[in-house]
Structure formats: C-alpha cells, structure tokens
Amino acid sequence: MLFHILGLPKPEVQAPPLNATVLIWGGGSIVGNLAIQFAKLAGLNVYATAGKNNHEYLRSLGAKLLFDYRSDSVVEDAVAAAEHEGKPIAYVADTITSSATLSSVQDILSKSTATVKKIAHTAPWPEDLEKLEEFYADMVHGEEVWYKPDMIELGSKVFNEDLPKWLETGAIVPPPYQVVDGGVGKIQAGLKVLQAGVSNQKVLVKV
C-alpha cells in the first residue's frame, strides 16, 4: 500500500525525515495500525483519522496528528494542519475504502497544495463515486505478492528480514487483540463480534 502503490521510501529504523505528509484514513483499523508504524519507519510525517478513543494509542505508534473522522471539519482540519507545517498532504492510504471515506480523501487532496497526489485504497473504487482524474489512485491487490517480481522482492525483505527484527526491538508493535475460545465451532461467534463493530483490535478464534 505505502511502498508499492504510493511509491514511498522503504521503511528503515531511524530513517531521515522527509518533507512529505501521508494521511492514514482509518488509523484505528488493524491495517491502519501497521500503516502508521511503517510510514513512521520510512521517515514520513504521519497523520491519521480515527475515533477520539484511539488517538492516544495511535499517537504512541507514530502518528504525529490525529483527526476525528466523525468531525464535520475533519477535511479542513487535516489540510490546515499540514499546510501550517509546510508539509502538505500528498499521500493518502484509505484502509476503510467506502464512498464516504474516498469522498473525504479526494476533498482533502483537492484542497492540498502538494504537487504529487496519490491514493491507495483497499477495495474496488465505489461505482457511485466519481474518480477524479487529477489524482493517481490504485487498489491494493494482495495476490500480487505471489507473481509480481517487485512485490515478491518487497514482501521477502519486509517479512523475512525486517519484520522479525522490528518486532524484537519494538519498532513495530503487534495490534491489540481479543481471543474467542472454543475452537473452529466458534468462528461464527467471532464473525458476530466483528459484525457488531470492533475498533483498533483483532479478533482471534483459538483453535
């Protein structure tokens, strides 16, 4: 998402800071959790949206500024903060991907003074939302890690070489989780937990 589609620098511990802001829309999701941490390791100026109850935790992961996605002024607030820093929002990773989130994302980039504007999204672009031609936008295709040479190379380095080291040193923090006991027969119960709404937490069924 960050490095393949948005073309951002590969993450390194203590990477030199770059004059660019990336916004993680949906920082309270598990994908958002990890995106914040990878972006921080890449030396980026990291913003994120999430419910207020998750702001403190996401700040500890590396998000410099947090914005409540429920706020009527979230678009204006995010743009104004980045412009004030002199690091306009150029990159957005939408980990939720709905008509509502992508509409807000496009609005943010429309108001940004960045010269490069890219969106990475995790599901197909909604048919009911116009895709503005002024931005580069592409969807994450997980199956590409099996057959695209650049994705194979990236995945091998990050997951086989870097991730074990980052987990050991605490540079990457695993996401919070809750366990549903009872084995395979409780998978449906786990799905119901997800359906009821889970924020900033994985749901695991213990087999």
Tens of pLDDT along the chain (207 residues) come to 888 889 888 777 666 667 789 999 999 999 999 999 999 988 899 999 999 999 999 999 999 999 999 999 999 999 999 999 999 999 999 999 999 999 999 999 999 999 999 999 999 999 999 999 999 999 988 787 788 888 888 888 888 999 999 999 999 999 888 898 888 888 998 898 888 877 788 888 988
CA distances from 144 to 3, 22, 45, 155, 186 (A): 14, 23, 28, 10, 31
Helix pair angle (99-111, 74-85), 10° resolution: 40
132 & 66 share domain: yes
Our count of domains for the chain comes to 2
Q: What is the identity of the amino acid at 140?
A: V
Q: What is the identity of the amino acid at 90?
A: A
Q: What is the pTM of this model?
A: 0.89
53 & 137 share domain: yes
195 & 102 share domain: no
Provide the domain limits for residue 196: 176-207
44 & 114 share domain: yes
CA distances from 31 to 35, 87, 190, 202 (A): 6, 24, 19, 10
Q: Is residue 1 part of a domain?
A: no
41 & 136 share domain: yes
